[in-house]
Amino acid sequence: MKNTKRILAMVFVLVFMFTVVTSTAVFAGTDNGKGAAKETEKVKGNDKANAPVIEDKNKVKSEAADDSTAVETEEEKAVKEKDKVMEQKKVLMKQLIEARKAGNAEAVTKLQAEVAAYKEQLKKMVRDSYTAEELTQLEQTAAAIEAADTTLDVLPVDKLVAKGKSLKLDMPPVVKDGKVLVPVKAFSQAYGAEVKWNAEEHTVTIVKDGVEIVIKTDSSIVYVNGVATDIGLPVKGINGRNVMPVGFLAEKLGLKVEVDPEDGTIEIEDENEDEDEGETTGTTEGTTTTTTETTTTTTTTTTETTVETNSNSTATTETTTNQAATGNQQ
C-alpha cells in the first residue's frame, strides 16, 4: 500500500514538471513570434519611409531627362525656323535681282525692305542661339583682340549664318588682310570633324569623312591628305585660338560658303545642297558691293569674293581647288 502511494506521488511530480516545462516553451515561442512580427513591421516601416526618397530621386532623374530632351527639341526647332527664313530670303533676293534687271523701281524698293527684315530676323536668330553669358564673353574677347592687334577687324558672330546647324563659336570671326578668319577647332567640331592639337609641333590635325587637314601655327602651308597648299595667309594664333580663312576650311570640310552681296553676311551650308541659279552679284544704289575675280593657272584655280562689311573694311572669302585648268571663268 505504501509503495503504491509512493508511485502515485512520483507520477504526480513528473506530470507537474512536464506541465511546467511545456508551458515555458509555449510562452517563449509566443514571445519570439511577437518579436519577429515587430521586427517585420519595423522593416516595413523603414521601407515605407525610404520609398518617397527613392521615388523623389527617380522623379528628379526623369525630369532631368525630360529637360535635356526639351533643350534638344528647342534647338532643332530653332534651326528649322532659321533654315526656313534663309530660304525665304533667298527667294526674295532672286526676285530683287529680277526687279533690278527689269528696272522696276517700285518692286525694288518693296523687295529691299522685305529682304532687310529677313536679314535682321536671321541675325537675331543667330544671337539667340548664344546665352547672355556667352555673348558677354564674346564682347569681352572682341575688345581684347582689337586692343592687342589694331590690324584686325572683329566681326559680330551674327555675320556667320549656318544652314541646318546651330553654329556657335568660342571667339568672334575676324578680318585680316581682307579675309574672314574663324577659330579652327570650334568651327570644325561644329561640323562633326575630329580635331587634335600637337603642342610640340604646334600643329592642328582635322579629320572628317576621310579628309585629313594639317595646319601649323604661323604657316600658310596647309596639308590636305598629304598635299601641300598655300592658303596665302599664315594660320594665326589669336586669343589662344588658331584661326584661318573660313572659305578654305569650309570647302575642305565639304561645305559651301556664300557671301551676301548686300551686307557681307557669310552663309554656310552643306555642299550637297542644290546650287543657286541666276546671278550672284548685285548693286545697291548704283554701287557694286560684290566683286568676283577668277585667276587660273595650270595647277590651281582660286576664286575670291570681296564684299564691304559693316565695319567699313573689305572681307574676302577664298576657296581654292587643285585642278588643271586654262582660260578665265566669269
pLDDT (tens digit per residue) in 199-224: 999 999 999 999 999 999 999 999 99
Q: Report residue 219 as a C-alpha cell.
A: 604657316
Task: State the pLDDT at residue 252.
Answer: 95
CA distance 121 to 115: 10
What pLDDT digit, counting tens, does each position of 257-311 carry? 998 877 889 999 987 654 444 444 333 233 333 333 333 333 333 334 344 444 4
Residues 124, 131, 243: CA angle, nearest 5 degrees:
85
pLDDT band at 74 (very low <50, low <70, confident <90, very high): confident
Which residues contact residue 279 at a Cβ distance below 8 angstroms, ignoring those fewer than 6 apart? 97
pLDDT of 314 over the 50 cut? no
Torsion angle defined by CA atoms of residues 177, 181, 184 and 188, in that order, rounded to the nearest 10 degrees: -140
Q: Is 187 in contact with 167 (CB distance < 8 Å)?
A: yes
Using CB atoms within 10 A of its CB, is residue 182 exposed (0-12), middle (13-18) or buried (19+)? buried
Percent of the chain with pLDDT over 90: 54
Report, as an integer, the average pLDDT of 28-56.
51
Ramachandran class of 248: left when φ > 0, alpha when ψ lies in -120 to 50, beta otherwise: alpha
Q: Is 183 in contact with 201 (CB distance < 8 Å)?
A: no
Characterize the bridge pairing of strands 283-284 and 287-288: antiparallel
For cell 542661339, what's the residue?
Answer: 129
Q: Give phi and psi for 264, each to the nearest 5.
A: 80, 10
Q: Is 296 in contact with 159 (CB distance < 8 Å)?
A: no
What residue type is assigned to position 221 of the chain?
Answer: I
Q: How many Cα neighbours within 13 Å face the side chain of 84?
A: 6
Task: State the pLDDT at residue 140.
Answer: 96
Residues 76, 78, 81: CA angle, nearest 5 degrees:
110
What pLDDT digit, counting tens, does each position of 219-254 carry? 999 999 999 999 999 999 999 999 999 999 999 999
Task: State the pLDDT at residue 263.
Answer: 84
Task: State the pLDDT at residue 129.
Answer: 94
**Closest C-alpha to 170, from 204, 192, 141, 148:** 141
Task: State the pLDDT at residue 180.
Answer: 94
Percent of the chain with pLDDT over 70: 61
Task: State the pLDDT at residue 306.
Answer: 41
Return the CATH superfamily for domain 152-322.
Answer: Copper amine oxidase-like, N-terminal domain (3.30.457.10)
Task: State the pLDDT at residue 111.
Answer: 94
